[in-house]
């Protein structure tokens, strides 16, 4: 694992795939009422408590998500990753996640195993440090705490 710079040592990326920018209006019975802005604020506030500078990003573009994972690997930045629908079929994203040089926690707001069968497969899970799912926006908080534990062990 490459040494992290002083600036990188406190940085964590929270990367979100397609449709996560529509939180609060997208299927609130599944994803809750918290807006994307609320998610960003929650992650950044908890990050400060844990000693992290949390950078939250969202994209509907698979290539952009792959580039962000490469950036994280090159800088040894830990990642909380909600791949959205890319979870189930994006081998390009899976291969980018496999190049990680710091912990990577896969996160899902809903429990994929309690939903449609096509959601039961994650191509990311096998290369992630761990997966947190089914706790609503709280899944992100649990993932950030898990990263803090991983980075202090």
Q: What superfamily in CATH does domain 8-152 come from?
A: Dehydroquinase, class II (3.40.50.9100)
Active site residue 36: no
Residue 5 φ/ψ, nearest 5 degrees: -70, 165
Q: What is the mean pLDDT of residues 36-55?
A: 94
CA angle 12, 28, 57 (to 5 degrees): 20
How far is Cα 54 from Cα 40, in angstroms, rounded to an integer? Answer: 9
30 pLDDT more than 60: no
- List the chain domain ranges: 8-152
Residue 82 is assigned to a ligand binding site: yes
Instruction: Tell whether residue 122 is among the known ligand binding residues.
Output: no
Q: Inter-axis angle of helices 36-50 and 138-152, to 10 degrees? A: 30
Considering only 22-26, 55-59, 134-138, which range has the smallest mean pLDDT?
Answer: 22-26
Looking at residue 19, its pLDDT comes to 75
Question: Tell me, what's the pLDDT at 35?
Answer: 79
Return d(Cα 151, Cα 114) in angstroms, integer. 31
Q: Is the pLDDT of residue 4 over 90?
A: no
Write the pLDDT tens digit of every residue in 12-22: 999 999 877 66
- Asked whether residue 95 is marked as a ligand-binding residue, the answer is yes
Active-site annotation holds for 120: no
Catalytic residue among 31, 70, 89, 91: 31
According to the model, what pLDDT value does residue 111 have? 79
Considering the chain, what is the average pLDDT of its residues?
Answer: 86
pLDDT at 26: 65
pLDDT tens column, 99-138 = 999 999 999 988 776 666 866 688 999 999 999 999 988 9
- Which of 108, 113, 120, 145 is catalytic? The answer is 108
112 or 10, which is more confident: 10
- Does residue 98 or residue 136 have the better pLDDT? 98
Confidence of residue 86 (pLDDT cuts 50, 70, 90): confident
90 is in an annotated binding site: no
């Amino acid at each position: 694992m490459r040494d992290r710079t002083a600036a990188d040592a406190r940085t964590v990326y929270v990367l979100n795939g397609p449709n996560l920018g529509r939180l609060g209006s997208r299927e609130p019975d599944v994803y809750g009422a918290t807006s994307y802005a609320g998610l960003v604020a929650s992650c950044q506030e908890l990050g400060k408590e844990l000693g992290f500078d949390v950078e939250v990003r969202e994209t509907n573009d698979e290539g952009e998500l792959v580039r962000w994972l490469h950036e994280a690997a090159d800088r040894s930045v830990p990642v909380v990753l909600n791949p959205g629908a890319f979870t189930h079929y994006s081998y390009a994203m899976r291969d980018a996640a496999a190049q990680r040089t710091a912990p990577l926690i896969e996160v899902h707001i809903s429990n994929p195993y309690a939903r449609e069968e096509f959601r039961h497969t994650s191509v990311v899970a096998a290369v992630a440090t761990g997966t947190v799912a089914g706790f609503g926006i709280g899944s992100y908080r649990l993932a950030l705490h898990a990263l803090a534990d991983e980075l202090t062990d």
